[in-house]
A and B are shown apart, each in its own frame.
Chain A
Amino acid sequence: MISKLQLHLTRVFMLIFLRDRQSIFFSLFFPIIFMTVFGFINNGRQEPINLGIVDASSSETAIEFIQQLIDNPVFNVTIGQEARLRSELVEGAQTLVLILPETFDVSGDGMELPLLVDAAQVQQLGLIMPVLQQTLIAIERDFRGNEPLFSLAIEDVQARSQRYIDFLLPGLMALTLMQLSIAGSGFNIVEYRRKGILKRLFVTPIKPRDFITAIVLARMAIVLIQLCVLIAFAVFLLDVRILGNFFAYFFLVILGTFIFLCLGFCLGSIAKTQQAVMAVGNLVIFPQIFLSGIFYPIDSMPAFMQPIAKLLPLSSVSTGMREIANNGASLLEVMPSLLGIGIWFVIAFVLATRLFVWKEVAN
């Protein structure tokens, strides 16, 4: 149970943290900038592909064919001379340039249409080529009056469009809670030791568990408030949707915060100077930023790295949060993530209570 002293201390620490305006500003500033940038860059709509067409044939078929392409929303068509379009392709104004040869006609079988591409955009090409192929085939069928044997009617089973910002928000929140928590316990402990505050507290009858409980509770409260601000920003201004249960989502947030607060205590107990705790802290934080599926899915990483990445505590937290936010998963459905979180919870807690020895940490 939480004692009166622990409650009083928690209030005091909250006051201390809340009055540190500068660090509150910066911990909110960067995630908000991130979300704004990614929220507006990719607004869910597929931009039309810039397609340049060189019409060397001027046949009626060609004109009709071009008209079909112009009518297709997938393409943004420009008609022009080959030389000009080539240079626009190099400059990036065109994504593709299609050349209709003099002999362009429906009657010709198996005609080859030269397609100019910029190899620098080859990755994008992988996405565009099937679209182009499909469109050409559809137009060809139209011309020849062939009924297609079959066609694909695409239906989104999840009945929603997923934007990158939707993917990003849970990861960004997990990242923010990790950084706030590790800094909130680890960096503070070192600072308090350097100033002799821990020593001063130690000569009063306070017990280490009262001190740790108060810092954990106060930090937890601050982290929850800050994350709520981020969620409100994402939901109201960027129209990000959280599909799952809000309480389940925050249940993971609380567990994650606890893990990283404990790990922060470990760091603060091991590292003796501010520089050391920064270095060790970055050693813990940085690999997780890139390996825990914050900015891109773990599945898209090299296969040999995936098992390692999945073991990281931040991976469990961010994966679980994303499942809930993006797919509306229940706590039961995110069991694998919860299991990882549970294991890290125990490891972090045991380590923290082992390593944080008043007498040694204070001196």
Chain B
Amino acid sequence: MPIIELDNLSKQYPLPNDKSKSFLAVNGISLRIEAGEIYGILGPNGAGKTTTLEMLEGLTDIDGGSATIDGIDVKTNPFKVKEIIGVQLQANEYFDNLSLVELLILFGALYNRSIDPYELLRKVNLQEKAQAKPSKLSGGQKQRFSIACALVNTPKVLFLDEPTTGLDPQAKRNLWDLVLQLNKAGMTIVLTTHNMEEAESLCHRIAIMDHGKVVAEDTPQNLILKYAPEPPQAPLHGNIEDVFLALTGHELRE
């Protein structure tokens, strides 16, 4: 059962150097993302990954095509969609002067829910930072806190925009574990990444985007079988001396 359906979705932006012309940042993409999947969107910078996510999140207007999340049309019902999604953006700064607990309570209030901030912090392993200010967190802790904020409404779909960019290997692995754990509990997760290892080991399926189009979509395994270049021929081993010896024998001569 697909939980997210994109049909011919597109987005135009004016060209930066010539405002009278526009280009298609997202050029008619159609995707089906299944409930319970971890779905990765890959692509070079400017391929349209973030724009696609922002259209799904209601941050950017949809210029063409349609998108639904859990059967709700994003274009006509953006506020209903916002109720059931959780979002972690690339920028992860928050109000100064509020502690993690106060920020989580604030985010809960935005969804009209009273939440247990300590429970959420435990989920992302930040319970000992409860009274800290976000500016005092490390990169990995900030990303985990962003995810905690995205979980206040127990969303059906979690969007992560480059969640591990800039993290050290320990923090990265730690975040993957968190994503797997959330997914195991039934959450659909859509993420963008530049990290191929992340896409390969974490995602059930991957879409590769370039120039606003999806150029390939499948499981990591199938993509490798289909597109990875053939392994090169086994290299020559030995040298001419071996050839010489093989032809003339090892026996010592006068």
Which chain A residues border B124 with CB–CB below 8 Å? none
CA distance A66 to B60 in the complex (A): 88
Q: Are A12 and B102 in contact (CB under 8 A)?
A: yes
Q: Contact between A5 and B110 (Cβ–Cβ < 8 Å)?
A: yes
Known: A15-B98, A19-B97, A203-B82. A8 touches B109 (CB 8 A): yes
Select A203's contact among B58, B98, B109, beta carbons within 8 Å.
B58
Name which residue of chain B comes closest to A200, CB basis. B89
Q: B116 near A: Cβ within 8 Å? A: no
A2 CB, nearest partner CB in chain B, Å:
14
Partner of A195, one of B57, B93, B106, B109: B93
Q: Does A202 contact B (CB under 8 A)?
A: yes
Choose among B58, B79, B98, B112 the residue that contacts A12 (Cβ–Cβ < 8 A).
B98
Residue B85 contacts which of A12, A203, A363 (CB distance < 8 angstroms)?
Answer: A203
CA distance A205 to B155 in the complex (A): 13
Q: Which of A19, A196, A205, A363 contacts B79 (CB 8 A)?
A: A205
Given the interface contacts A12-B102, A204-B82, does A5 sit within 8 Å of B91 by beta carbon?
A: no
Minimum Cβ distance to chain B for residue A6 (Å): 10
Question: Could you tell me the distance in whole angstroms from the C-beta of B80 to the nearest C-beta in chain A?
Answer: 8
What is the CA–CA distance of A16 and B94 in the complex, to the nearest angstrom? 11
**CB of A362 closer than 8 Å to a CB of B:** yes
Contact A20 B60 (CB under 8 A): no
* Interface residues as binary, A193-208 with B (CB distance below 8 Å gives 1, 0 otherwise): 0011101111111100
* Cβ B59 vs Cβ A359 within 8 A: yes
B residues near A54, Cβ cutoff 8 Å: none
* Residues 78-92 of B contacting A (Cβ, < 8 Å): 79, 82-83, 85, 87, 89-92
CB distance from B44 to the nearest CB of A (A): 22
Cβ contact within 8 Å between B98 and A196: no
Query: Would B82 and A362 count as touching, CB distance under 8 A?
Result: no
Tell whether A363 pairs with B59 under 8 Å between CB atoms, given A15-B97, A16-B96, A199-B91.
Answer: yes
Q: Is B61 an interface residue (CB 8 A)?
A: yes
Indicate whether A242 reaches chain B with its CB closer than 8 angstroms.
Answer: no
CA distance A192 to B98 in the complex (A): 14
Are A5 and B95 in touch, CB under 8 angstroms?
no
From the candidates B59, B106, B153, name the one contacting A199 in the complex (CB within 8 A).
B59
* A348 within 8 A of partner (CB): no
| B57 pairs with A12, CB closer than 8 A | no
User: Across the interface, which residues of B come within 8 angstroms of A203, CB to CB?
Assistant: 57-59, 82, 85, 87, 89
A359 to chain B: which residues have CB within 8 Å? 59-61
- Taken residue by residue from 19 to 32, chain A's Cβ proximity to chain B (1 for < 8 Å, 0 otherwise) reads as 11000000000000
Q: Which of B60, B83, B96 contacts A363 (CB 8 A)?
A: B60
Is A96 part of the binding interface, using a Cβ–Cβ cutoff of 8 Å? no
Q: For residue A197, which residues in chain B have a CB less than 8 angstroms away from its CB? A: 93-95
Asked if A262 is an interface residue, CB under 8 A from chain B, the answer is: no
Q: Is A9 an interface residue (CB 8 A)?
A: yes
Residues of chain B contacted by A205 (CB below 8 angstroms): 79, 82-83, 110-112
Please encode chain B, from 42 to 73, with 1 for each CB lying within 8 Å of some chain A CB and 0 for all others. Answer: 00000000000000011111000000000000
B145 to chain A, nearest CB (A): 12
How far apart are the CA atoms of A302 and B229 in the complex, in Å? 83
Q: Which residues of B contact A5 (CB under 8 A)?
A: 109-110, 112
Distance in angstroms from B58 CB to nearest chain A CB is 7
Is B39 on the interface with A (CB-CB < 8 A)? no
Least CB distance from B253 to A in Å reads 81
A319 CB, min distance to chain B CBs, angstroms: 37
Q: With A203-B82, A204-B82, A204-B107 as known contacts, state yes or no: A16 contacts B97, CB within 8 Å.
A: yes
Can you show 10 pairs from A to B with CB atoms below 8 A apart?
A15-B98, A16-B98, A20-B97, A200-B89, A203-B58, A203-B85, A204-B82, A205-B79, A206-B110, A359-B59
Q: Which residues of A contact B (CB under 8 A)?
A: 4-5, 8-9, 12, 15-16, 19-20, 192, 195-197, 199-206, 359, 362-363
Extra contacts, 17 of them, besides A203-B85, A204-B153 (Cβ < 8 A), are: A5-B112, A9-B106, A9-B109, A12-B102, A15-B98, A195-B94, A197-B93, A200-B91, A200-B149, A203-B59, A203-B89, A204-B110, A205-B83, A205-B110, A205-B111, A359-B60, A359-B61
